[in-house]
Amino acid sequence: MILVDTNIFIEYYKNNSLICKILGHIDPQEIAISDVVCAELYFGARNKQEAATALFHNAELFTLNRKDFACIPNLKLYEHK
């Protein structure tokens, strides 16, 4: 499972070709979004609860804001190969 951060969806909706390509290589059944991301996309809010969700579900977090999450122990960040 790969938990996708809000900024990835924002770039996808902006038709960012790199993000669209990367998401295209991920099995859709492996993509997950947290309730926080849903709320952020709907209401425009922002917080770090998606990291807690990724840790709880032992999921990788796909984000463009890697530095914002670097200080969270045991959090796995998704690396495009």
- Residue 52 φ/ψ, nearest 5 degrees: -65, -40
Tell me what pLDDT residue 23 has. 96
Give the max Cα distance, the chain: 32
Rounded average pLDDT over 3-30: 95
Instruction: Give the pLDDT of residue 43.
Output: 63
Give domain limits for the chain: 2-77
pLDDT at 50: 63
pLDDT digits 0-9 by tens, 32-71: 999 888 888 866 655 456 678 888 899 999 999 888 888 8
Higher pLDDT, 12 or 41: 12
Angle at which helix 35-43 crosses helix 49-56, to 10 degrees, equals 150
Please provide the CATH number assigned to the domain covering 2-77: 3.40.50.1010
The two structure tokens encoding residue 66: 């890697």
pTM of the model: 0.69
